[in-house]
């Protein structure tokens, strides 16, 4: 029996998680492995939570007719490996060994094209509103499972979208408490 925070490495799927597979992904370049975790923040419509809109965006069937605020994003071909909603429920869109289209133009420690070597995790939220305790717990559990499944993920290779796309992206924003996440990760690793 697998928990929601264990990964079936051959398939790259999070066991017991909600699966909504996105067409917006492809193979990583030859020899590329997950080495970086990127935390994002997303809400659709902006500042609102719940509903089917993030699924639809990542699956390519979001329509502008649903909300005029979708005009700017309806044609985007984007995805993430996983989303953690406000209740802490994890949905997976892209198998972890595949390349999700989450980072866009990006750079980490001199390396361009972070999608090639990263895993993107979205949190349902905004830059300004506090994230929920359940999201931090789920994120910490997911990070532990990813690090166990993919030893190539370094313990310090954890960044926000804003860190790899400064000036272009601001998420997960100032409301995200990095110290809270690090404390949860540290507590789980023991003394």
- Measure CA of the first residue to CA of the last residue in the chain; give whole Å: 28
Q: Is residue 158 part of a domain?
A: yes
| Number of domains composing the chain | 1
Is residue 142 within 8 Å of residue 82, measured between CB atoms?
A: yes
Q: Which residues are catalytic?
A: 122
Q: Which of 41, 44, 51, 48 is nearest to 80 (CA)?
A: 41
Cα-flanking dihedrals φ and ψ of residue 122, to 5°? -90, 140
In this structure, is residue 76 part of a structural domain? yes
CA distance 150 to 152: 5
Average pLDDT across each block of 10 residues of the chain; the chain has 191 residues. List them in order: 72 94 98 97 96 97 94 95 98 98 97 98 97 98 96 94 97 97 86 55
CA 66 – CA 45 distance, rounded (Å): 10
The reported pTM is 0.95
Q: What is the CATH number of the domain that holds 36?
A: 3.40.80.10
Domain coverage including residue 141: 7-189
């Amino acid at each position: 029996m697998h928990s929601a925070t264990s990964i079936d490495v051959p398939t790259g799927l999070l066991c017991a998680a909600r699966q909504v597979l996105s067409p917006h992904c492809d193979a990583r370049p030859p020899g590329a492995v997950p080495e970086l975790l990127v935390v994002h923040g997303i809400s659709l419509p902006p500042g609102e939570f719940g509903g089917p809109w993030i699924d639809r965006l990542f699956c390519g069937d979001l329509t502008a007719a649903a909300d005029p605020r979708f005009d700017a994003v309806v044609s985007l071909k984007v995805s993430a490996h996983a989303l953690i909603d406000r209740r802490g429920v994890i949905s997976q869109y892209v198998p972890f060994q595949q390349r999700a289209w989450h980072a866009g133009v990006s750079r980490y420690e001199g390396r361009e094209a972070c999608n090639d070597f990263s895993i993107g995790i979205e949190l349902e939220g905004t830059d300004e509103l506090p994230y929920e305790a359940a999201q931090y717990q789920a994120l910490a559990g997911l990070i532990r499972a990813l690090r166990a499944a993919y030893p190539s993920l370094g313990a310090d290779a954890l960044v926000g979208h804003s860190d790899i796309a400064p000036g272009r992206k601001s998420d997960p924003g100032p409301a995200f408490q990095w110290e809270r996440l690090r404390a949860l990760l540290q507590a789980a690793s023991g003394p």
